[in-house]
A and B are shown apart, each in its own frame.
Chain A
Amino acid sequence: MEILSLVLMSVVAAATPLLFAAIGELVTEKSGVLNLGVEGMMLVGAVVGFAVTASGGGAVLGVSAAAAAGSAMAALFALLTLNLLANQVATGLALTLFGIGLSALVGRGFIGVPLDGLPHLAIPGLSDLPLIGPLIFGQDALVYLSFVAVAAVAWFLTRTRAGLILKAVGENPAAAHRLGHSVLRVRWLAVLFGGAMAGIGGAYLSLAYTPLWAENMTAGRGWIALALVVFATWRPGRVLLGAYLFGGVTIAQLHAQSAGVALPSQFMSMLPYLATILVLVLISRDAARIRLNAPASIGKVFHPGG
């Protein structure tokens, strides 16, 4: 029982950074912007969050700083692609490369610095329940925040006028512009939100998952977050499912490796990525659904003309 509980806890920990990054990217993409810089924004968030926390700023300030750092990276992207009409794919790739280098530079002094992980919630009685106690009532605050974020994004997209405008801008920016909605403003906000979420996702890695700073510690999670959004056909519920599937297989293969399963470790490390993409592709094959959920204008430069 004890072991199962620990395993499930580590699944949650492995899924959470992915969930943050993917739900942020989902909002960005719904507005019609493809930001391939998620990996870079996560890394910068991870190092900034770690640096602020380790320098005595405390976890709350650390996470906030990580969100701000992610947004700052996103702002750079938004300025280039939205105002200066640069190509989104090229700019996003550059942002990732930039983030890798920048985070390594900032993080030089923090390699090997020890840090306590984020405090876990402890409700006397409830958190001590076997299995579900720690799982449901004993997580750290960011895990709960990630669930709140998914629910909030789902609610925002389906129930609010602002969410409707966001979807409209992603679907047909020219028409939204003609109806008097500011395409640039909506996209800027969506990109900034995506950056903040990627930053928090990165901070979760360095503050809670490991917790330490290592160069390039996201190890491709930014890319899997991008893939999650597409294979989840831009639906928050499926992003949640995909993130936990990824977390689950990550932990399962780690345990399988330590239990000495006779498969090359490289193959095992590959499994989470493979399984996540495979499952999401299989459950999201319906062409009409994809057409209905995919933001039609994604990746295209919009120039309001005049």
Chain B
Amino acid sequence: MIDGHSHEGPPPRLTLRGVVKRYPGVLANDHVDLTLEPGEIHALLGENGAGKSTLVQIVYGVVKADAGEMRWNGRPVAIDGPAAARALGIGMVFQHFSLFETLSVAENVALGLETGAADMAALSERIADVSTRYGLTLDPGATVYDLSVGERQRVEIVRCLLQDPQLLIMDEPTSVLTPQEADQLFETLRRLAREGRTILYISHKLDEIRRLCDRATILRGGKVVAACDPREETAQSLARLMIGVDVSPTRRADGGADQIGDELLRVEGLSMPAANPVSTPLKGVRLSVRRGEILGIAGVAGNGQNTLLAALSGELPAPRVDAIRFEGRPIGLLGARARRDLGINFVPEDRLGHGAVADLSLADNALLSGWRRWSLVRRGLVSFAKSKERAEHVVERFAVAAPGAHAAARSLSGGNLQKFIIGREILQNPKLLIAAHPTWGVDAGAAAAIHKALLHLAAEGAGLIIVSQDLDELFTLADRVAVICAGRLSESRPAHEVTAEEVGLMMGGLFDAAIVRGGGAPSETGDARHGG
């Protein structure tokens, strides 16, 4: 059904036929066909590892295909590098931005242009011009280091647009945006499509594909398994096509509130300097979590999440011992190990480097986190057999795709490593689990498994704090939702009482309006004296 030859009118913008790319041990693209028409927004849908990234990297010239044919506006082409792709009129906005933090917006744009563009003033004018035309507000003189994630993405888009691309590839563009920013982006993309430009939109967020895209090509295991009009599909049917099996929605049952017990953790008046130069100081943060309850903390990255997580995990001690109380006991000055001994476990945002040591085996990584709770060290000697056993248990229980406990953490895919890390913490039976971005960059199947495990943990009576940028995730999991912005945390509100739009407004800093409207949430007994 995807055939560039049975076509009338102008030739398709891009036609791929029989594209094959093989990596050692895996066929990343297995005879993929794809046709992109002028002026369409085309979704490329698939789980992590389905071959989406490989395919677009071939189109953009970063990776060379082993076999297959590529036609650009009807003519056969060979793209042997990103420069060649850009010369043809192909632009790409990467998921992990290709920006230089210490350089200005204009300098970042200049680096993406082929020609000398030595005249920064003229370039700044062109940037201002393009950004007003497409509603992408940007200050050309600002340093990227100071920009929000949404603004950084605009820099990437403007950099592409200045080359007047006919095909714009967007790799998971909304994974880092607030709902409002995402809406703005969609408006810009629709405008670009109306001008006749083609947009190849890569995502695994089904709702936004249904809202935005004209056509969708679905990849699974390196093959095209379906092509459809996403507007005529449901999120369920798209998910089925993408994963190949039904995914049961893991929406938190409203009855969950019955199992919520007494207060587990209370944070009051927590103000502290930023954890590092690129994060934000905290200003009077107040929150509480009860047994069996999941508190979701939403917010755009860089608004103090890092500092808050460091303070909760004990990596940075709080300024006062009574700023943080756990089961009534002041623990503000306890370090990470002492808090783990109390039953507070932590899943950091950064999987490789913070959550796991990249070059160590899964067994060693299990040892590093669970050595006390699992008694893996006796009289100063490590029991490697026992740590291996524990790691294997995690791998088995959480269906981690890994060759075994000896596999290096680095060798696992992002989703599998995340399943391992979360499983490792959950199997230590925490009373309180703090998880940062538990499913960031994880495919739908693994995300569903992680969500299920987290909900199960709460059902067993543990308290959870989930920090995430993904509102769908928070609404799926959380009993109550609070928003962090510029180092301040809003009052938390029951998840079923707030809408994504309200949370989005608060994420954008419009805090007070939302708080006033929300009033005091019933679960917040702010001045209640807590017995210890």
Q: Which residues of A contact B (CB under 8 A)?
A: 160-161, 164-165, 167-168, 171-172, 174-176, 178-181, 287-288, 291-293, 296, 306
Q: B10 near A: Cβ within 8 Å?
A: no
Query: Known: A161-B110, A165-B111. Is A175-B83 also a contact (CB below 8 A)?
Result: no
- Find chain B residues with CB under 8 A from A160 CB: 118
Question: Which residue of B is nearest A172, CB measured?
Answer: B100
Interface bits B47-69 vs A (CB < 8 Å: 1, else 0): 00000000000000011100000
Q: How far is A164 from B64 in the complex, measured between Cα atoms in Å?
A: 29
- Find chain A residues with CB under 8 A from B111 CB: 164-165, 168, 176, 179, 181
The residues in B between 69 and 95 inclusive whose CB is less than 8 angstroms from any CB of A are: 81-83, 86, 94
Q: How far is A219 from B454 in the complex, measured between Cα atoms in Å?
A: 62
- Find chain B residues with CB under 8 A from A167 CB: 100, 102-103
Q: How far is A174 from B96 in the complex, measured between Cα atoms in Å?
A: 11
Interface of B is mostly: loop
Q: B145 near A: Cβ within 8 Å?
A: yes
Does A179 contact B110, Cβ atoms closer than 8 Å?
no
Q: How far is A293 from B101 in the complex, measured between Cα atoms in Å?
A: 11
The 8 tightest CB contacts between A and B, nearest first, are A175-B98, A180-B83, A171-B100, A180-B82, A292-B102, A287-B277, A178-B98, A168-B100
- Find chain B residues with CB under 8 A from A174 CB: 98
Residue picked from A175, A176, A296, most chain B C-beta under 10 Å: A175
Does A161 contact B145, Cβ atoms closer than 8 Å?
no
Expressed in whole angstroms, the minimum distance between the Cβ of B22 and any Cβ of chain A is 13
26 contacts between A and B (CB under 8 A): A161-B110, A161-B116, A164-B103, A164-B110, A165-B111, A167-B103, A168-B111, A171-B100, A172-B98, A172-B99, A172-B100, A172-B101, A174-B98, A175-B98, A176-B111, A178-B94, A180-B81, A180-B82, A181-B111, A287-B277, A288-B277, A291-B145, A291-B278, A292-B102, A296-B102, A306-B63
Q: How far is A167 from B144 in the complex, measured between Cα atoms in Å?
A: 14
Expressed in whole angstroms, the minimum distance between the Cβ of B278 and any Cβ of chain A is 8
| CB < 8 Å neighbour of A293 from B99, B102, B117 | B102
Q: How far is A161 from B62 in the complex, measured between Cα atoms in Å?
A: 23
Question: Which residue of B is nearest A290, CB measured?
Answer: B277
Q: How far is A291 from B144 in the complex, measured between Cα atoms in Å?
A: 13
Q: Which residues of B contact A (CB under 8 A)?
A: 62-64, 81-83, 86, 94, 97-103, 107, 110-112, 116-118, 143, 145, 277-278
- Find chain A residues with CB under 8 A from B100 CB: 167-168, 171-172, 175-176
Q: How far is A160 from B278 in the complex, measured between Cα atoms in Å?
A: 28
Expressed in whole angstroms, the minimum distance between the Cβ of A131 and any Cβ of chain B is 41
Residue picked from A160, A174, A178, A296, most chain B C-beta under 10 Å: A178
Given contacts A179-B98, A180-B86, 17 further A-B contacts (CB under 8 A): A161-B110, A161-B116, A164-B107, A168-B103, A171-B100, A172-B98, A175-B98, A175-B99, A175-B100, A178-B62, A178-B82, A178-B94, A178-B98, A179-B82, A288-B277, A292-B102, A296-B101
- Find chain A residues with CB under 8 A from B107 CB: 164
Expressed in whole angstroms, the minimum distance between the Cβ of A54 and any Cβ of chain B is 44
Expressed in whole angstroms, the minimum distance between the Cβ of B405 and any Cβ of chain A is 28
- Find chain A residues with CB under 8 A from B82 CB: 178-180
Expressed in whole angstroms, the minimum distance between the Cβ of B316 and any Cβ of chain A is 16
- Find chain B residues with CB under 8 A from A306 CB: 63-64
Q: How far is A36 from B419 in the complex, measured between Cα atoms in Å?
A: 42
- Find chain B residues with CB under 8 A from A288 CB: 277
Does A171 contact B101, Cβ atoms closer than 8 Å?
yes
Does B145 contact A292, Cβ atoms closer than 8 Å?
yes
Expressed in whole angstroms, the minimum distance between the Cβ of A112 and any Cβ of chain B is 50
Expressed in whole angstroms, the minimum distance between the Cβ of B491 and any Cβ of chain A is 32
Q: How far is A292 from B86 in the complex, measured between Cα atoms in Å?
A: 29
- Find chain B residues with CB under 8 A from A164 CB: 103, 107, 110-111
Expressed in whole angstroms, the minimum distance between the Cβ of A230 and any Cβ of chain B is 16
Q: How far is A165 from B64 in the complex, measured between Cα atoms in Å?
A: 25
Expressed in whole angstroms, the minimum distance between the Cβ of B8 and any Cβ of chain A is 36
Residue picked from B82, B98, B100, B117, most chain A C-beta under 10 Å: B100
Q: How far is A67 from B483 in the complex, measured between Cα atoms in Å?
A: 60
Q: How far is A164 from B105 in the complex, measured between Cα atoms in Å?
A: 12
- Find chain B residues with CB under 8 A from A161 CB: 110, 116-118
Expressed in whole angstroms, the minimum distance between the Cβ of B155 and any Cβ of chain A is 12
Q: How far is A293 from B100 in the complex, measured between Cα atoms in Å?
A: 12
Q: How far is A212 from B83 in the complex, measured between Cα atoms in Å?
A: 52
Q: How far is A171 from B104 in the complex, measured between Cα atoms in Å?
A: 13
- Find chain A residues with CB under 8 A from B143 CB: 292
Q: How far is A137 from B86 in the complex, measured between Cα atoms in Å?
A: 52
Question: Which residue of A is nearest B87, CB measured?
Answer: A180
Query: Known: A171-B100, A296-B101. Is A179-B112 also a contact (CB below 8 A)?
Result: yes
Residue picked from A165, A179, A296, most chain B C-beta under 10 Å: A179
Q: How far is A291 from B277 in the complex, measured between Cα atoms in Å?
A: 9
Expressed in whole angstroms, the minimum distance between the Cβ of A285 and any Cβ of chain B is 12
Question: Which residue of B is nearest A295, CB measured?
Answer: B102
Expressed in whole angstroms, the minimum distance between the Cβ of B144 and any Cβ of chain A is 10
- Find chain A residues with CB under 8 A from B98 CB: 172, 174-175, 178-179
Q: How far is A40 from B278 in the complex, measured between Cα atoms in Å?
A: 37
Does B118 contact A291, Cβ atoms closer than 8 Å?
no
Expressed in whole angstroms, the minimum distance between the Cβ of A213 and any Cβ of chain B is 42
- Find chain B residues with CB under 8 A from A168 CB: 100, 103, 111
Q: How far is A225 from B117 in the complex, measured between Cα atoms in Å?
A: 34
- Find chain A residues with CB under 8 A from B118 CB: 160-161
Q: How far is A292 from B94 in the complex, measured between Cα atoms in Å?
A: 23
Query: Known: A164-B107, A178-B82. Is A291-B63 also a contact (CB below 8 A)?
Result: no
Residue picked from B82, B98, B116, most chain A C-beta under 10 Å: B98
Q: How far is A174 from B86 in the complex, measured between Cα atoms in Å?
A: 17
Q: How far is A306 from B102 in the complex, measured between Cα atoms in Å?
A: 27
Q: How far is A180 from B83 in the complex, measured between Cα atoms in Å?
A: 5
Question: Which residue of A is nearest B143, CB measured?
Answer: A292
Q: How far is A174 from B99 in the complex, measured between Cα atoms in Å?
A: 10
- Find chain B residues with CB under 8 A from A292 CB: 102, 143, 145
- Find chain A residues with CB under 8 A from B64 CB: 306
Expressed in whole angstroms, the minimum distance between the Cβ of A293 and any Cβ of chain B is 7
Q: How far is A65 from B94 in the complex, measured between Cα atoms in Å?
A: 46
Question: Which residue of B is nearest A179, CB measured?
Answer: B112
Expressed in whole angstroms, the minimum distance between the Cβ of B63 and any Cβ of chain A is 7
Q: How far is A208 from B94 in the complex, measured between Cα atoms in Å?
A: 53
Q: How far is A242 from B219 in the complex, measured between Cα atoms in Å?
A: 59
- Find chain A residues with CB under 8 A from B86 CB: 180
Q: How far is A306 from B278 in the complex, measured between Cα atoms in Å?
A: 32
Q: How far is A171 from B103 in the complex, measured between Cα atoms in Å?
A: 9
Does A291 contact B94, Cβ atoms closer than 8 Å?
no
- Find chain B residues with CB under 8 A from A175 CB: 97-100
Expressed in whole angstroms, the minimum distance between the Cβ of A187 and any Cβ of chain B is 16
Question: Which residue of A is nearest B145, CB measured?
Answer: A292
Question: Which residue of B is nearest A291, CB measured?
Answer: B277
Question: Which residue of B is nearest A176, CB measured?
Answer: B111
Question: Which residue of A is nearest B92, CB measured?
Answer: A178
Expressed in whole angstroms, the minimum distance between the Cβ of B98 and any Cβ of chain A is 4
- Find chain A residues with CB under 8 A from B62 CB: 178
Expressed in whole angstroms, the minimum distance between the Cβ of A96 and any Cβ of chain B is 29
Expressed in whole angstroms, the minimum distance between the Cβ of A251 and any Cβ of chain B is 37
Q: How far is A218 from B278 in the complex, measured between Cα atoms in Å?
A: 40
Question: Which residue of A is nearest B277, CB measured?
Answer: A287
